Amino acid sequence: MSDHSMSRRNVLRGSLAACSVALLSPAVFAEELSRTPAVEEGPFYPHRMPLDTDNDLIVINDSLTPAIGTVAHLGGRVLDASGSPIRNALVEIWQCDVDGHYIASGPSGRQDKNFQGYGRFLTGSSGEYYFRTIKPVPYSGRPAAHIHYKIRKGRTELLTTQLFIKGFAGNQRDHIYMNVRDPKDRDLVSTDFKAMENSKIGEVSAKFDLVLGRTPVDQGDHQH
């Protein structure tokens, strides 16, 4: 394994550890949590997986050239409705590059070849997940910036949804966002992307917990 690969892996481990402190603080759940509403998948789930499918979307394999865009550290937990973490849940995300192109939208000379566009992460014992990606942007036909999510457990698909930027100017003009009829549900699929202190390149971070209903989990997957 190259020194660059080792360095990149250590960076991701360090980032996950740092985010765990900020994102995974203990919580007391007095009542059943509100479940994350489903939002349509849309047409751009990858029809063919990229060569690199890890949780760092801004660098492909051992490339030294990062993707264009505002670096975003995105994390949270996968929970059941009682607040118990779910481990071994596969969290998938996909999104467009800074110019609005998905990896599944066909060849384009303007597509950022350094943006992975898709990533996956298998949750651990505390249900946590983490991605390094770019802050989502709007594109033609979708005025709301968003990131697509799919949660699987083994071969079972548990949830497909989208993450939106809370208060983003284009949200009210986005038909998919507005199809989430209940304002409380829209709030559940929206979060803030906050500037990270001491970042020299203007990085942002966001927390997005995913709350599932009853799931076909294996014995011992819930950690109380």
In angstroms, the CA 78 to CA 36 distance is: 10
Structure tokens, 8:
């990149």
More confident residue, 194 or 1: 194
Lowest model confidence (mean pLDDT) among 30-34, 130-134, 142-146, 202-206: 30-34
Q: What is the pLDDT of residues 176-199, one digit of tens each?
A: 999 999 999 999 999 999 999 999
Q: Beta strands 71-80 and 204-207: pairing type?
A: parallel
Q: Is residue 113 one of the residues assigned to a domain?
A: yes
pLDDT of residue 10: 46
The model's pTM is 0.83
In a domain, 223, yes or no: no
Tell whether 9 is covered by a domain: yes
The residues, ordered by sequence, that sit 6+ positions from 178 with a Cβ below 8 Å of its Cβ are 171, 172
Provide the residue range defining the domain that includes 117. Answer: 3-24+31-211
| Residue that is written with structure tokens 């969290």 in the block | 91
CA pair distance 36, 79, nearest whole angstrom: 10
Token readout for 128 is 């946590």
* 201 found inside a domain: yes
222, part of any domain = no
User: 10 Å Cβ neighbour count for 133?
Assistant: 26
Q: Assess whether pLDDT exceeds 80 at residue 17.
A: no
The encoded tokens of residue 98 equal 């800074």
Q: State how far the alpha carbon of 187 is from the alpha carbons of 77, 108, 141, in Å.
A: 17, 34, 22
Report yes or no: 74 and 57 within 8 Å, Cβ to Cβ: no
Confidence of residue 32 (pLDDT cuts 50, 70, 90): confident
Q: Which two tokens stand for residue 100?
A: 């609005």
**C-alpha dihedral, 133 to 145 to 109 to 201, nearest 10°:** -40
**In this predicted model, which residue has the larger pLDDT, 81 or 29?**
81
Quick: pLDDT tens for 44-58: 999 888 889 999 999
pLDDT tens for each residue of 68-117: 999 999 999 999 999 999 999 999 999 999 999 999 766 555 689 999 99
Q: What is the pLDDT of residues 115-172, one digit of tens each?
A: 999 999 999 999 999 999 999 999 999 999 999 999 999 999 999 999 999 999 999 9
Q: Is residue 218 part of a domain?
A: no
Assess whether pLDDT exceeds 60 at residue 13.
Answer: no
Average pLDDT value for the chain:
86
- Whether residue 217 lies inside any domain: the answer is no
111 occurs within a structural domain: yes
**pLDDT attached to residue 81:** 94
Statement: residue 22 has pLDDT above 60: no
Give how many domains the chain has, as a whole number: 1
Q: Residue 68 is part of a domain; what is its CATH number?
A: 2.60.130.10
* Residue 206 in this model has a pLDDT that exceeds 90: yes
